[in-house]
Structure 1
């Protein structure tokens, strides 16, 4: 695990994020141009939409449906400059972190500065 300090405030863009279970079917949408390998998806079950890493999706079929290969939550953290976070995973320009209050979520890696490994 790595410890980071937040160097730039970040406000979550999705207060009601898409949450997916392994084996769930989704509609596979467009790829993000700012952060490649993030696909905008829509859950067939919940109808929620959000960004999902391409690495955890099967290839889409002819009807643009794909299968989720592992559990996933698109929850983003709202953080302020100076906060300390523990980095748990890096993926496609984002880091999945844990706060001191045990909240887990994503934040763009460019908002973080590595303090210790």
Structure 2
């Protein structure tokens, strides 16, 4: 874990994020052009949509359905410049962080600076 200072505000674009459990099925969509290796998926069971890292998806079958390999939440944090967060993991130019109020979520790594 590493402590970071927020150097640029970030507002969550998805207030109702896709949350997936291991072995859940999703429709495998298009890859993000700004952040490679993020795939826009739709949950078969809940119909929620959101960005999922390619690393937790199986290759899609002929119907475009992929399986989730581990639990995943697409929750993004809304943060302000000057805040400090704890970085828990990095993936595809995003960092999964914990705030001072114990909220967990993703922040673009470009918004962070090592403290």
Q: TM-score, normalised by structure 2?
A: 0.99
TM-fit CA distance, 1:103: 0.1
The 1-side partners of 2:92 and 2:13 are apart by: 17
Q: Which runs of 4+ in 1 moved over 6 A?
A: none
Residue 104 of structure 1 aligns with which residue? 104
Q: Does 1:55 align with 2:55?
A: yes
Q: Does 1:95 align with 2:95?
A: yes
The 2-side partners of 1:9 and 1:34 are apart by: 18
TM-fit CA distance, 1:59: 0.2
Residue 72 of structure 2 aligns with which residue? 72
CA RMSD in angstroms comes to 0.3
TM-fit CA distance, 1:21: 0.2
Residue 5 of structure 2 aligns with which residue? 5
Structure 1 runs not aligned, ≥5 long: none
Structure 2 runs not aligned, ≥5 long: none
Q: TM-score, normalised by structure 1?
A: 0.98
Q: Does 1:15 align with 2:7?
A: no
